[in-house]
Amino acid sequence: MTTTAAPGGSGASRRPRSQLLIRTLSGLLILAIVVVLVAVGRPGLWLLAAVLGGISIWEFRRLSGLIGHQAPLWLLYPLAAYFALSGTVLKPVPVLAVLAGALVAGLTALLFLPPRRDGLGRWAFALAGALYVGLPFNYYLQLYEAHAGFVGQLWLVAVISTVVVSDSAAYLIGRALGRHPFFPAISPKKTWEGAIAGVVFCAPVMGLAGALLLHIGPWHGIALGLLVGLSAEFGDLVESQLKRLAGVKDSSQLIPGHGGLLDRLDSIFFPPIVVYLYLQAQGLL
């Protein structure tokens, strides 16, 4: 997200501009694909969850291996698929039963599968990765199903667009005005100025969306905007922490010149969860 201004010099000034162009174009391309598939309705959402979730899980597994506890595919993917669908088509399947099976069968199997000494760590990363990637897709799907049809689509587009605004504001303000480091141990280039801008700019966006499109009123929209901005910031920091533990700059090299899919999706993982829980707590679902 947010960065401080680069040191002086023509080469240094050109690099941030090219990075901003790549960042903007890749963000707009991903946003356009997401919006088109969301507009398709339920089939498009299933496709999004399957493709984006599958690639994200693959990148998470790579990071877990670099950290030293590579999550087993046979446990990671089924658990992630379950968590992604646990609030919709797999709702009748009890969560506790799935967790119990993952605990007993998963840990027992890893006693015998090499490397045996790392079974507990690999199991823990499989469960963590499945929750980290699967639950956000679950709440996006639930947010759509709770409103259904065009209104559900508007909700998804509003949340994702607000995150894009947060990301862009944090980067631009951080680059122009950033002077004070924000979480330097995890992400040295982020600044307080950028982080604050990333939260503040979400309020009017979601406020207008709430009043004009979502019919929840501007004050609920503003509250949701602030929650989206905060959760987007923390989602970005969590993925940065994963990469720092793994000792890499990017989650993969999937997107030419700009790293992996997790590097683009990190900010959109937490917002649907806080949005759905807020709407539920306020009786707006």
| Omega prior to 115 cis, within 30 of 0 | yes
Contact 233, 198 (CB under 8 A): yes
Dihedral of CA atoms 219, 155, 79, 72 in degrees, nearest 10, equals -90
70-107: b (≥16 Cβ within 10 Å) or e: bbbeebbbbbbbbbbbbbbeeeeeeeeebeeebeeebe
d(CA 21, CA 188): 22
Angle between helical axes of 149-177 and 202-209 (0-180°, round to 10):
160
pTM: 0.89
Angle between helical axes of 119-147 and 42-67 (0-180°, round to 10):
160
Query: Which residues are within 8 A (CB) of 82 and not within 5 positions of it... i.e. 6 or more apart?
Result: 90, 93, 98, 130, 134
A 10 A CB-CB count for 244 gives 15
pLDDT recorded at residue 108: 96
Q: Where are the domains of the chain?
A: 1-40+148-285, 43-147
pLDDT recorded at residue 5: 43
pLDDT recorded at residue 6: 43
pLDDT recorded at residue 8: 46
pLDDT recorded at residue 183: 86
A 10 A CB-CB count for 157 gives 17
Supply the DSSP symbol for 103.
I
Q: How far apart are the first and last CA of the chain?
A: 31
d(CA 142, CA 147): 9
Angle between helical axes of 10-40 and 42-67 (0-180°, round to 10):
140
Q: What is the pLDDT along the chain (285 residues), one digit of tens a residue?
A: 444 444 444 454 555 666 667 767 776 787 788 888 988 989 999 999 999 999 999 999 999 999 999 999 999 999 999 999 999 999 999 999 999 999 999 999 999 998 888 999 999 999 999 999 999 999 999 999 998 789 999 999 999 999 999 998 998 999 899 899 988 889 888 899 999 999 999 999 999 999 999 999 999 999 999 999 999 999 999 999 999 999 999 999 887 666 899 998 999 999 999 999 999 999 998
